[in-house]
Structure 1
Amino acid sequence: MAAIADDASAETAAGADGSARTETEERIAREIADWRARYDAPDASAIELLLHAHPADALAFRVVHGDWSTTDLTYGELDRLSRRTARVLADLGVTRGTRVGVMMSRSVEYVGILLGLWRLGAVHIPLFTALAAQAIGMRVNASGAALVVVDAGWRHKLDPSEDLPLAGRAWRILRVEGSEPGAEPVTPTAVWSDDAVLEPLLADAEPWDDQAAIGGDGLLALLYTSGTTGAPKGVPLPMRALTSFRSYMINGLDLRDDDVFWNAADPGWAYGLYFGVLGPLAVGHANLLTHDKFSAHQAWQVLARYRVTNFCGAPTMFRAMRNDPEDGLDIHLRRASSAGEPLTPEVLEWSGDALGSAPHDHYGQTEHGMLIGVPWRDGIRLAPQAGTMGVPFPGWCCEILDQAEDRPARPGEVGRLAFSPAESPVWWFPGYDDAPDRTAERFTADGHWYLTGDLAWRGDDGQLHFVSRDDDLILAAGYRISPLDVESVLAMHPAVREVAVVGRPDELRGEVVAAYIVLAQSFTGDETLVHELQQEVKTRYAAHAYPRIIEFVDELPRTASAKVQRYLLKSR
C-alpha cells in the first residue's frame, strides 16, 4: 500500500464561503487527478490495478471462519487463484462482457470467483444471500445473466418455481461446495444433476494467463437498487469508479498502512462490495472477511481478537453491540464509521466510551458510492455532531435545490439534495442499465444536477442535515427496502384487499417495515394471519424485508385523488 501522509499539522479545511483551498485540499485534488488518470485509462485492467499493483507477498484479505480460525490471502495467491478460476469460468462460456450472478458468503472461493470474472472482463451481478426466489429471478432475468455461481447451502433458492421460472432462460449454475471449517457436507439432489461444481474443476484447471483491458468505461459489476415505483434499477459499475472508492478509503475512512481494517457490510450490497472488496484492493490494504452473518457477539469478538483499528458498518450494528455488550475485552479502535442510514445521537454518546471512537456518519447511494460525511483524514477532519451529515467528500460538488425550482435553496431551507456530474471529478454513474427514461428522471431539465431523491438542508457552517427520502424508501438495518416490493407480495395474499407499507422508527434498526392492511371479507386479522403474511414476504421477497409491524385497519388514509397519505401512517 502506498504511504498515506499524516496531515495533522495542516491547517483546517476551508469553509463553504469560497475561501482558498488549504494545502491538504490541494494535495487531495492532485491525488484524485492521478487516480482518475490511472483508473480511467483506455487500457485499464482490473487485474493490473487490483492485484499486480501491490507486492505479491502483501496481505489482501483475512477470511475469518465461524470457529475463529483464519485463512490469509496474499495478492500473489489471489493472482494464482484468479487464473485458475478464470479458466473454469471460461470453460463454462464466460467471456468479456458476460454477466454472472454470484450468491455466496464471504470466503476464499468468493474472492476467487470475483477476480476470475474480472480477469476475463466479465460483469459481476451481486445476489445477496437473504434474497428470496422472486428477487433473485428479477435480477437474473433483468441482467441477462448467463451463469449463477452459488454456495451449495443456498443452491435450493435457484430451484425452478413460480417466482423463478426456468422457461425461456438459458443460464447455467456453478455450485461451490466451500471449505468452511466444520461445515456439514451437502448432498446434491436430483435437481442439481446438471450443475457444474467448482472444486473438481478448479483442481484440474490450467492457469488462464490473459487479462482483459476494459478501460475506464468497462464494467466490473451491475448492482440492483429498489425505488418505490417500477422495478429495481440496474446500476452499472465502471472501472473509473475506483477513483471515488479509493478517495473514500483514504479521505473518508482515513485508512493507514498500519490499520487493521474491517468493513462488516455484506458485499451482496453496495457498501460491502465497494468498500469491503474493491476499495481495499484498489488501495492495497487488507480487509477482514467474516464468513458468518453479523451478530453483536461476532462484532465484539472480531474487534478484540484481531485488534481492529479501523471499523465501519451500519448504525444497526453499533446499536446491536450497545444492546448486547461484552465486558473485559481489549478494544483498539482508532477510527469508526457508520453508513447506510442516519446515525442517531445515542450511538454517538455510547460509542465514544465503549469503543474509544465515536463513529463518523457517512452518506451514499448505490449509484455513486459515498458522497457526504464527516471525514476522518487529518487536515479535513470534522468532529461528529448529532443530526448532521457532514460535508461533501473531496471530488463531489453538492447543492441543495429549491423544492419547486432548479435553483439553490437558501441556507437553512429544506430542499432537494443534488450533485453536479460536470463539477465532480470523481463522478462515475453512467446511467441505469438499459433504462434511459429512468436515468433522465434523476436529472434536472438542463441536465446539470443529479437528484438523489433525498431532502436536506445546509447550516451556516456548511454542514448538511438529512431530512427524509422523498420517495419513502425504507432504511432498515442498513438495507434499502422498497415499500412497493413488499406491498406487491402482500397484495397477492387472498386475505389482503388493500395494503400500504411504510417505515416506522426503531431504536435498534433505525426503521422497521410496517404494513397497514385492509382485509378482504371473511378474513380475521389474528396472530396466525400476521405470521402467515410475514412468512409470505420472507419466502417470496427477502428475509430482511418482512413487516415486523402489521396492523389491520378499516381503510387507508387517502387524498382527494385517492393517493395513500403515507405520512399519516408513519405518524401512527
Structure 2
Amino acid sequence: MPEPAHRVREWLTAYDSPTTSVSHLLCDRHDPDRNAIIQIGPDLAPATLTFGELRDRSHALATGLAAHGIGHGDRVATLIPKGIDMAVTALAVWRLGAVLVPLFSSFAPSAISERLTSSGARLVVVDDDNRAKLDTDTTPTWSIVTTGPRPLRDGETTLTALADTQAPPAPDTAVGGDGLLAIVYVSGLIGPPRGVPVPVRALAAMHAYHHYGLGVDDDDVFWNTADPGSAFGLYHGVISPLLAGHTSLALRAGFFDPELTLDVLGMYEVTNLAADPTTYRTLRAATKTLPPEIVVQRLTSFGEPLAPDVIDWVTDVFGVPVRDHFGQTELGWCVGIPNGDTGQDIGDITPGAIGPALPGWTATVLEAISDEPAPLGAYGRIAVDLEHSPLAWFTGYLDNDSASQVRFTPDKAFYLTGDTGILDRRHWLFFSTRDDGAILSRGYRIGPTEVEAVLNDHPAVDECGVYSIPDELAGQLIGARVVPAAGFEASEALATELKEWVATRFATHASPDVVGFVPELPRTASGKMRRARLR
C-alpha cells in the first residue's frame, strides 16, 4: 500500500490539472453496474441508482440544462434533500462546468433569497416541500425547476421535462483544478453569511478524508447523516463517496427518529456511519442496547466536540470507538484520530483528544497575540500551517480577494480556524472553544448577529443580544435577551412570537430556544455589548 504522503500526491496530481473533469472522476470512470446511491424512504423501502444510471440520467439532464441556457461558470442552486435527485442534479451541473450552490432546506425564504442573490444563481432546483420558500416580494433573477408533480407556475419546469429535452447532447466540460466546483455558505459572528468558493482541486482533500479520516473501503455500507446543504453533507455525503466509487445511503425521512436510525443501521447492515454529535446524544437518551443485527465497524462524529461521557457510551454500546474529527467549510476535515490506516501507531487515546493532523495537513497552535507557535500544552489559536498542508485550498470568500482567516508572516502562512486549543507532546489536538462566538446547535453553526438582525426587525424589539446555553442533547441552545420597545410588554406570548419570527424569516434551526426580557443589555463603558454576560 502506498504511504499516505505518496497517495496524497497522486490525488493532487489527478485532481489538480488543467484537464480535470469532475463528471469523469465522480461517475464515468466507475463500474456502471455498481450502486452509487441507495435512497431509503421513511418506510425503509429502497430506491437504487447505479453509476451507469447516474451517468445516463445526468447526461440527459445536462442536455436539458444547456438548452435552458446553463453553461460554464453559471450558478445552479439546490433546495432538495439528499438522495438520487441531488446526485443527478449535481453531476449534471458539473458536466456543464457550472457551479453548485447547495442550500439548507431549514432556511426561511429571506435567508434563501439572500444566498441566491449573493451567489448570482441563475436557476434553483427545488422539491415540493420547499417550493413556497421561493415566493418573494421582488422579481427573482433565477428560474425554478421542481422535482415533484405539483402544478407548475408560469416559467417553471421540472427535472423530468428537462431530462426529456430533444436537443443535441451537451458535451462534458473539463474546468481543471482551478475551476469552481461549488459555493457553500458559512455563518460568522459578524455580518451576512459568507460564500466559500470550493475549487475542483479540493477533491483531493475530500478523497483523502474519505479514505483516511472516515476509513471507507470498497466493502463498506456507508451512511453520512448530514444534510447536503452543509459542507460535511456535500463534501462527504455527495462528493467523496462518488469520487471513490463507493455506495452510500441516503435516508429521506424529513425528520430525525432514533428508532428509525437504528432500523436503517440494522436493515441495511451499515458498517461505516458518520453523524453529528446530536445524533449520538439522542441515541444515548433513547437507547439501552443495540439490536444484534447492527454491525457498524467505524463511527465518526463531526461539527462540534463530543463529550467524553458520550464517547464512552458509544464505545460501550456499539463496541467500537467513535472518532471525533475537526474541520471547517473552508478546509474540509483535517484533524482527528483516523478510521483508516495511515501507518501510524495510534497508541493510547487521551480522553478529550481530537487527534493528530490527517495526511496532507499540518495543524498547529499559535500564541494568542503573535503568530508564533505556542509551547506544547499551552492554549492558543488553532491554525493550519499552509506551507506544510498540500491539501489546503481556501484562498478567500466570494467577491473578496483576501481571506480574513489567513495570516502571513515573513516566512509562514497560517489559516486561523477561529478556535482555540492545545497540542500535546505527540502533536495531538485538544479543542477548547470557539473564539469567534458562533453557536453550534444540533449540528448547525449559527452566527449570533444574524439572529440579532432578524429579531431587531420586529417592532416589539428595541435591541437584543443572542448567546449560547449548554445543553446535553443539542450541544448548545440559542438564547436571546430582548429589551422591549416602547409600548410593548414582556410576556410569554411575545416570546413565542419572536421565536416564530426568527423561524419564518431566517431559519427554523436558528430560532431561539429561550427568550428573556431585560430592561437593558450589559455593555462596556464604550458601549460594546458584553456578550459573555448575556447568559
Q: 1:204 to 1:327 in 2, by over 3 A?
A: farther
Asked whether the equivalents of residues 379 and 422 of structure 2 are also in contact (C-alpha less than 8 Å), the reply is: yes
Task: Show the 5 A alignment for 1:388-467.
Answer: 388-437=353-402, 439-440=403-404, 442-444=406-408, 446=410, 448-467=413-432
Distance 1:398 1:544 in 2: 31
Q: Tell me how far 1:568 sits from its aligned partner.
A: 2.1
For residue 497 of structure 1, what is the aligned residue in structure 2? 462
1:147 aligned partner: 123
The separation in 2 between residues aligned to 1:271 and 1:547, in whole angstroms, is 24
* SS in structure 2 at match of 1:240: helix
CA distance in 1, matches of 2:488, 2:275: 42
Q: Give yes or no for the alignment of 1:566 onto 2:531.
A: yes
How many residue pairs match? The answer is 530
Match of 1:170 among 134, 141, 147: 141
Q: Are the aligned partners of 1:59 and 1:286 in contact in 2 as well (CA < 8 Å)?
A: yes
1:340 aligns with 2:303: yes
Choose which of 61, 69, 83 in structure 2 pairs with 1:93. 69
Query: 1:366 is matched with which residue: 318, 329, 347?
Result: 329
- Residues 416 and 328 of structure 1: CA distance in aligned 2, closer, same or farther (over 3 Å): closer
Amino acid at match of 2:150: V
Alignment RMSD, CA only? 1.7
Query: Equivalences for 1:118-157 in 2 at 5 Å?
Result: 118-157=94-133
Mapped to 2, the partners of 1:451 and 1:81 lie a distance apart of 41
TM-superposed deviation, 1:249: 0.9
What SS does the corresponding residue of 2:44 show, helix, strand or coil?
coil
> Residue 421 of structure 1: CA displacement?
2.1
Per-residue Cα deviation, 1:296-320 (whole angstroms, up to 9, x for no partner): 1221111111010100110001111
For the residue of structure 2 that corresponds to 1:227, the secondary structure is: coil
Partner Cα separation in structure 2 for residue 460 and residue 289 of structure 1: 40
**Greater alpha carbon shift after TM alignment, 205-214 vs 252-261:** 205-214
Q: Which residue of 2 aligns with 1:49?
A: 25
Q: In terms of mean alpha carbon deviation, does 453-462 or 403-412 score higher?
A: 453-462
Q: Over residues 13-36 of structure 1, what are the superposed CA-to-partner deviations in whole Å (9 max), with x where a residue is unaligned?
A: xxxxxxxxxxxxx70000000110
Query: Measured at CA, do residues 209 and 92 of structure 1 come closer, stay the same or move farther in structure 2, by a change above 3 Å?
Result: closer
Alignment of 1:150-299 (within 5 A): 150-161=126-137, 165-166=138-139, 169-177=140-148, 186-188=150-152, 192-205=153-166, 208=169, 210-293=171-254, 294-299=256-261
Query: Would the aligned equivalents of 2:365 and 2:422 in 1 still touch at CA under 8 Å?
Result: yes
Say which of 258, 283, 286 aligns to 1:321.
283
Judged with a 3 Å threshold, the aligned counterparts in structure 2 of structure 1 residues 75 and 207 are, in CA distance, closer, same or farther, namely farther
The CA distance in 2 between the partners of 1:239 and 1:301, in whole Å, is 36
State how far apart, in whole Å, the 1-side matches of 2:506 and 2:156 are.
24
Q: CA deviation at 1:327?
A: 5.3
The answer on whether the counterparts of 1:131 and 1:541 sit within 8 Å (CA) in structure 2 is: yes
Q: Secondary structure at the match of 2:37?
A: strand
Q: Which amino acid aligns with 1:279?
A: S
**Of 545, 557, 563, the match for 2:510:** 545
The one-letter code matched in structure 1 to 2:276 is A
Match of 2:444 in 1: 479
Q: Which residue of 2 aligns with 1:117?
A: 93
Partner Cα distance (2:528, 2:128) in 1: 45
Secondary structure class of the residue paired with 1:281: helix
> Separation in 2 of the partners of 1:499 and 1:445?
39
CA displacement at 1:205 relative to structure 2: 4.7
Instruction: Summarize deviations over 1:378-403 as a string: whole Å, max 9, x none.
Output: 33363654322211111112221111
| Equivalent position amino acid for 2:203 in 1 | L
For residue 370 of structure 1, give the secondary structure of its aligned residue in structure 2: strand
Equivalent in the alignment of 2:338: 375
- How far 1:376 moved relative to its partner? 1.7
- 1:10 is aligned to none
Once the two structures are superposed, what CA deviation does each residue of 1:401-433 show, in whole Å capped at 9, x if it has no partner?
Answer: 111111111122211111122221111113211
Q: Using a 3 Å threshold, how does the CA distance of structure 1 residues 443 and 339 change in structure 2: closer, same or farther?
A: same
Q: Does 1:512 pair with 2:483?
A: no
When the two structures are superposed, what TM-score results if normalisation uses the length of structure 1? 0.90
Q: Structure 1 counterpart of 2:144, which letter?
A: I
Q: Which residue of 1 aligns with 2:433?
A: 468
Taking the aligned partners of 1:477 and 1:205, their CA distance within structure 2 comes to 45
Task: Answer yes or no: is the 8 Å Cα contact 2:290–2:318 preserved in 1.
Answer: no
Q: Is the 8 A contact 1:114 1:124 kept in 2?
A: yes
CA drift of 1:193 comes to 2.4
Q: Which residues of structure 1 form unaligned runs of 5+?
A: 6-25, 178-184
SS of aligned partner of 1:419 = strand
1:84 aligned counterpart, secondary structure:
helix
Give how far 1:199 is off.
Answer: 1.9
Deviations, residues 210-241 of structure 1 (Å, cap 9, x unaligned): 21111001111111101111221111111111
Instruction: Point out the more displaced range, 323-332 or 482-491.
Output: 323-332
- C-alpha distance after superposition, 1:268-320 (max 9, x if no partner): 10001001111111111111011123321221111111010100110001111
In structure 2, the partner of 1:32 is 8
SS in 2 for 1:88: helix
CA contact (8 A) 1:309 1:333 kept: yes
381 and 76 in structure 1: CA distance in 2 versus 1, 3 angstrom threshold: farther
Q: 1:521 to 1:445 in 2, by over 3 A?
A: farther
Give a deviation string over 1:511-551, Cα, whole Å, max 9, x none: 11111111223322211111100000100000111100111
SS in 2 for 1:89: helix
- Give the match's secondary structure for 1:243: helix
* Aligned equivalent of 1:535: 500
More divergent stretch after superposition (35-44 vs 250-259): 250-259
Q: 2: CA distance between counterparts of 1:355 and 1:369?
A: 27
- Partner letter of residue 272 of structure 1? G
Deviations 1:221-265 (A, max 9, x none): 111101111221111111111111111111111112211110111
State the Cα distance separating 1:453 from its structure 2 match.
1.2
Runs of 5+ consecutive residues of structure 2 not aligned to the other structure: none
Tell me how far 1:143 sits from its aligned partner: 0.6
Q: How much identity, in percent, do the aligned residues show?
A: 41
Q: Secondary structure at the match of 1:466?
A: strand
| Aligned match of 2:318 | 355
Q: Distance in 1 between matches of 2:433 and 2:408?
A: 20
Q: What are the equivalent positions in structure 2 for 1:292-311 lying under 5 Å apart?
A: 292-293=253-254, 294-311=256-273
Helix, strand or coil at the partner of 2:436? coil
TM-score when normalising by structure 2: 0.96
Q: Name the residue aligned to 1:20.
A: none
Distance of 2:518 and 2:314 partners within structure 1: 40
Supply the AA of the counterpart residue of 1:289.
A
